[in-house]
């Protein structure tokens, strides 16, 4: 009777290679192909080699000591990625230092890449286009000048805008308020607030005349109000328990029993990219989740996974913009502004509600 084949101790590693899994559960490793003399990351897009030609190594140093060289496609040593990152950092510095927006051709020439290739690199690494990045730089300059008390015309010109009309055409995009209000540091804007208790602890709702601009929970009342004031440092904050009673009831009811999406008039302020992510979050159905990578793909920018995660972390209206419905690649809950246990509680409640509605 023939002997049974010996079990392959490296079977999990080999499966990760076959799956092209960039973050295998086994932890980081590299594999080498003896017939090609190269070593790769498990997520390498190259065609899978034959198992008998594969060797596994803990790191690049071990693979190189065995006589293998780094694959040029998957860049297992990260050398090409480091060059790309440095080129994009230099481009960002060039944009920051320029009085007016450098052309794409100038940025690409400075980086040493063709324009289309540089544009893809910049977008992949920063999550935005060079133009969007430059608009963010101009908006910061404008906000700083106005906060310092500069006249609107001078601040607009100094920030690199061609005319005041370009700022007034889309004040929310650049400042979240009119230039005059920004010049006064937000003075003149009123945010009404109301506190309540919920199944997840204290809740604070803040709203401008346009809509809800802040929802926080699970911290002390003072801490929640401090968070709101940090986001709107010079606005007038006034208690408005009666005026916001209906909104607060909706929020508390959603936490207790999320039978339907929390629909509220919102006043969202952020960059164009942040608002794009926040709008995508609002399309995730109750009781479902998306990965950060999936959300990045949904907004047409699949490489901007980290930028998407940062936008989720900056979400000012938890629950109404459901950033808790975004999870890690393997379903891990990862971080959450209000605590991972509360994220788990929210998702469990929504899953239960979805199951009951389906039954």
How does pLDDT run along the chain (359 residues), one tens digit per residue?
Answer: 455 455 677 888 999 899 888 777 778 899 999 999 999 999 888 888 999 999 999 999 999 999 999 998 888 988 888 888 888 888 888 887 777 778 889 999 988 889 998 988 887 777 678 887 777 676 666 655 555 555 545 555 555 554 444 444 444 444 444 444 544 445 567 899 999 999 888 999 999 988 999 999 988 888 888 888 877 777 888 999 999 999 999 999 998 888 777 889 998 877 777 888 998 999 998 888 999 989 988 888 887 888 888 889 889 999 999 999 998 877 777 778 888 888 888 998 888 888 777 66
Contact 161, 209 (CB under 8 A): no
Please tell me the predicted confidence (pLDDT) of residue 174: 45
pLDDT at 81: 81
| Order of strands across the sheet that contains 190-198 | 212-217, 201-207, 190-198, 236-239
Cβ neighbourhood burial of 104 (10 Å; 0-12, 13-18, 19+): middle
Residues counted in the chain: 359
pLDDT of residue 88: 86
d(CA 197, CA 300): 39
What tokens appear for 145 in the block? Answer: 């000048």
Name 222's Cβ contacts closer than 8 Å, sequence gap at least 6.
Answer: none
Residue keyed to tokens 């017939």:
35
Residues facing residue 30 across a β-bridge: 57
Question: Which active-site residues does the annotation give?
Answer: 40, 323
Contact 165, 179 (CB under 8 A): no
Identify the CA nearest to 317 among candidates 354, 283, 266, 358. 266
Closest alpha carbon to 207 in 189, 185, 190, 192: 192
Q: Which has the closest alpha carbon to 126: 170, 96, 98?
A: 96
The pair of three-digit structure tokens given for residue 223, joined into one six-digit string: 């801490």
The Cα angle at residue 187 between residues 337 and 148, in degrees rounded to 5 = 90
């Amino acid at each position: 009777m023939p002997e049974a084949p010996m079990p392959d101790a490296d079977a999990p590693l080999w499966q990760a290679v076959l799956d092209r899994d960039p973050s295998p559960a086994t932890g980081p490793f590299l594999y080498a192909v003896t017939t090609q003399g190269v070593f790769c990351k498990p997520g390498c897009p190259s065609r899978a080699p034959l198992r008998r030609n594969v060797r596994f190594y803990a790191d690049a140093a071990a693979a190189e000591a065995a006589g293998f060289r780094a694959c040029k496609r998957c860049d297992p040593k990260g050398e090409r990625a480091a060059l790309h990152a440095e080129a994009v950092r230099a481009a960002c510095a060039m944009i920051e230092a320029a009085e007016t927006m450098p052309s794409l051709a100038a940025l690409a020439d400075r980086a040493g890449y063709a324009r289309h290739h540089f544009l893809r690199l910049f977008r992949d690494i920063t999550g935005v286009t060079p133009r969007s990045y430059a608009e963010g730089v101009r908006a910061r300059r404008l906000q700083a000048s106005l906060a310092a008390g500069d006249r609107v015309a001078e601040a607009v010109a100094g920030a690199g805008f061609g005319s005041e009309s370009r700022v007034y055409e889309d004040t929310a995009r650049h400042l979240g308020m009119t230039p005059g209000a920004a010049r006064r540091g937000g003075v003149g804007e009123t945010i009404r607030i109301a506190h309540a208790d919920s199944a997840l602890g204290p809740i604070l709702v803040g709203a401008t005349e346009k809509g809800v601009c802040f929802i926080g929970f699970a911290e002390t009342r003072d801490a929640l109000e401090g968070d709101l004031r940090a986001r709107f440092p010079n606005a007038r904050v006034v208690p408005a328990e009666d005026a916001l009673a209906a909104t607060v009831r909706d929020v508390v009811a959603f936490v207790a029993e999320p039978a339907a999406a929390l629909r509220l008039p919102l006043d969202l302020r952020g960059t164009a990219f942040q608002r794009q992510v926040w709008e995508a979050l609002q399309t995730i159905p109750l009781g479902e989740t998306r990965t950060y990578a999936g959300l990045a793909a949904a907004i047409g920018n699949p490489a901007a996974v980290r930028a998407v995660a940062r936008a989720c972390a900056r979400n000012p209206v938890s629950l109404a913009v459901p950033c808790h419905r975004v999870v890690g690649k393997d379903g891990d809950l990862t971080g959450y502004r209000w605590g991972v246990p509360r994220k788990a509680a929210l998702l469990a409640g929504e899953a239960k509600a979805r199951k009951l509605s389906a039954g």
